[in-house]
Chain A
Amino acid sequence: MHVHRFERLWLVGALTLIVLFIGTVTYGAVGAGYGMVDATGGQVDPTNTTASENFREPGVYEGSEPGHYDVYVEAKQFLFVPGTSSPIRVPANSTVTFHVTSADVMHGFEVVGTNINTMAVPGQVATVTAEFDEPGEYGLVCNEYCGSGHHTMAGTLSVVPESQYNGTSTANTTSTANTTSTANTTSTANTTSAANTTSTANTTSAANTTTEVN
Chain B
Amino acid sequence: MAHPHKSETPQAYEAEETQLKDRLAFVDKYPSAARISRLSLGVSFTALTIGALLGIVQALHRTNVFRFIDSADYYSVLTGHGVLLALFFTIFFLTGIFTWGTSRSLGRELHSPRFSLAWFLLMLSGAVMTATAIFGGLVGQIPFSADVLYTFYAPLEAHPLFYAGLAAWLVGTWLAGADWLRSYYHWRQDNPDERIPLQMFMIMTTMLMWYIATLGVAVEVLFFLLPLSLGLIQSVDPLLTRTLFWFFGHPVVYFWLMPAYFAWYTVLPKLSGGRLFSDPLARVVFILFLILSTPVGFHHQYADPGVPEGFKFIAMTNTMFLLLPSFLTAFTVVASMEYGARQRGGSGYLGWLKALPWGNPAFAGCALAGMMFAAGGFSGIVNAGMNINSLVHNTLWVPGHFHLTVGTASALTMMAISYWLYPQITGKRLQFYGVAQAQPYVWFIGMGLMSNAMHRAGLAGVPRRTAEPQYQQFDFVPALGSMSEMRLQIALGGTLLTLGAVMFVTVMLGTWFAERGRGRLRVDSHLPEPISGATDSPRVLDNVKLWFAIAVVLVAIAYGFPIYSMVADGVFTPAAPPFPA
Q: Contact mask B244-283 → A, CB, 8 Å, 1/0? A: 0000000000000000000000000000000001101100
Within the complex, the shortest CB–CB distance from B293 to chain A, in Å, comes to 16
Cα–Cα, bound, A126→B280 (Å):
46
Cα–Cα, bound, A107→B319 (Å):
25
B460 neighbours in A (Cβ, 8 Å): 112-113
| Chain B, 304-332, CB within 8 A of any chain A CB | 304-309, 312-313, 316-317, 320-321, 323-324, 327-328, 331-332
Cα–Cα, bound, A123→B237 (Å):
8
A148 x B147 contact (CB < 8 A): yes
The stretch among A7-15, A187-195, A205-213 that forms the contact with chain B is A7-15
B569 neighbours in A (Cβ, 8 Å): 43
A141 neighbours in B (Cβ, 8 Å): 461, 463, 471
Cα–Cα, bound, A138→B463 (Å):
15
Q: Contact mask A32-62 → B, CB, 8 Å, 1/0? A: 1011111101011111000000000000000
A143 x B463 contact (CB < 8 A): yes
A121 neighbours in B (Cβ, 8 Å): 238-239, 242, 304-306
Q: Is B31 an interface residue (CB 8 A)?
A: no
Cα–Cα, bound, A187→B89 (Å):
52
Closest to A6 in B: B1
The 8 Å CB contact of A22, one of B1, B320, B328, B461, is B320
B477 x A113 contact (CB < 8 A): yes
The stretch among A149-157, A162-170, A177-185 that forms the contact with chain B is A149-157
B463 x A105 contact (CB < 8 A): no
Q: What number of B residues sit within 8 Å (CB to CB) of A?
A: 82
A115 neighbours in B (Cβ, 8 Å): 387, 390-391
A144 x B328 contact (CB < 8 A): no
Closest to A116 in B: B390
The 8 Å CB contact of B307, one of A22, A39, A112, A155, is A39
Interface centre among B78, B328, B332, B465, by most A CB within 10 Å?
Answer: B465
Q: How large is the interface on A (under 10, 10 to 19, 20 to 34, 35 or more residues)?
A: 35 or more
B278 x A7 contact (CB < 8 A): yes
Within the complex, the shortest CB–CB distance from B64 to chain A, in Å, comes to 11
Q: Is A175 an interface residue (CB 8 A)?
A: no
Q: Known contacts being A118-B303, A123-B237, is A148 close to B72, with CB within 8 Å?
A: yes
B304 neighbours in A (Cβ, 8 Å): 37, 118-119, 121, 124, 126
Within the complex, the shortest CB–CB distance from A158 to chain B, in Å, comes to 11
Q: Is B71 an interface residue (CB 8 A)?
A: yes
Q: Is A135 an interface residue (CB 8 A)?
A: no
A147 x B156 contact (CB < 8 A): yes
Closest to A19 in B: B320
Q: Known contacts being A117-B393, A117-B394, is A150 close to B303, with CB within 8 Å?
A: no
A3 x B278 contact (CB < 8 A): yes
| Chain A, 79-114, CB within 8 A of any chain B CB | 100-101, 104-106, 108, 110, 112-113
Q: Is B464 an interface residue (CB 8 A)?
A: yes
B239 neighbours in A (Cβ, 8 Å): 121, 123-124
Of the A-B pairs whose beta carbons lie under 8 Å apart in the complex, a sample of 25, sorted by A's number, is: A1-B538, A4-B335, A6-B335, A15-B324, A17-B327, A18-B321, A35-B309, A39-B307, A46-B575, A106-B242, A108-B394, A110-B394, A119-B303, A122-B238, A125-B305, A126-B303, A126-B304, A137-B474, A139-B471, A143-B465, A144-B153, A145-B78, A148-B72, A154-B473, A156-B473
Residue numbers of B with Cβ under 8 A of A are 1-2, 5, 71-72, 74-75, 78, 147, 149, 153, 155-156, 237-239, 242, 277-278, 280-281, 301-309, 312-313, 316-317, 320-321, 323-324, 327-328, 331-332, 335, 381, 384-388, 390-391, 393-395, 460-461, 463-469, 471-477, 532, 536-538, 569, 573-577, 579-580
CB-based closest 3 A-B pairs: A123-B574, A139-B474, A126-B305
